[in-house]
Amino acid sequence: MTSTTQTEPQAESDYAAVGGAPAITVVVNRFYELVLADDRLRGYFDGIELVRLKRHQVALVSQVMGGPVAYDGRDLRTAHANLHITADDFAAVAGHLIAALTEAGVPSEIIDRTVSAVAATQPDIVEVSATEA
């Protein structure tokens, strides 16, 4: 055990810093509204059960913010296979997440970290790269 572990409270996750589950629920509900109101995106979610969709949103936000969420769904590559998601779709979803976080008053450095973590999932989710289009 090194001397730097568990000596300072600053190891708090972004998930905890923004207010935990109640705050994430507000962000998730707003993100969900924005995605389904977006004509570019809503078609992807046709026929997807609300429960599944909610799990999608909660997992997305909680995981990337370091929340204590034991995600037990499919890995992201499998979950998004055959959906033919483009880089533009991905950017639109990420944009809605940024909007929901911003509206909820989440500090910009936490938004930056969250967006970086989400961006790192792009190779697993985007099937049609911009260069192939």
Contacting residue, 16, 94, 99, 110, with ligand HEM by CB under 6 A? 94
111: alpha, beta or left? (left if phi > 0; alpha if psi -120 to 50): alpha
CB closer to ligand HEM out of 19 and 44: 44
CB closer to ligand HEM out of 21 and 94: 94
Please give the helix or strand (H or E) that residue 123 lies within, else none: helix 122-125
CB closer to ligand HEM out of 16 and 117: 117
Regarding 125 and contact with ligand HEM (CB under 6 A), the answer is yes
- Say how many residues touch ligand HEM, by CB under 6 A: 23
Buried b (16+ CB within 10 A) or exposed e, 112-128: eebbeebeebeeebbbe
Residue 29 sits at φ, ψ, to 5 deg, of -65, -40
Please give the helix or strand (H or E) that residue 62 lies within, else none: helix 50-64
Question: How far is 118 from 127, CA to CA, in rounded Å?
Answer: 16
Contacting residue, 18, 27, 59, 65, with ligand HEM by CB under 6 A? 59
Q: Give the amino acid at 83.
A: L
Query: Which residue's Cβ lies closest to ligand HEM?
Result: 73
Kindly state the smallest distance separating residue 73's Cβ from ligand HEM, in Å: 3
CB closer to ligand HEM out of 20 and 124: 124
Q: Which residues bind ligand HEM (CB under 6 A)?
A: 41, 44-45, 48, 52, 55-56, 59-60, 73-74, 76, 79-80, 83, 85, 89-90, 93-94, 118, 121, 125
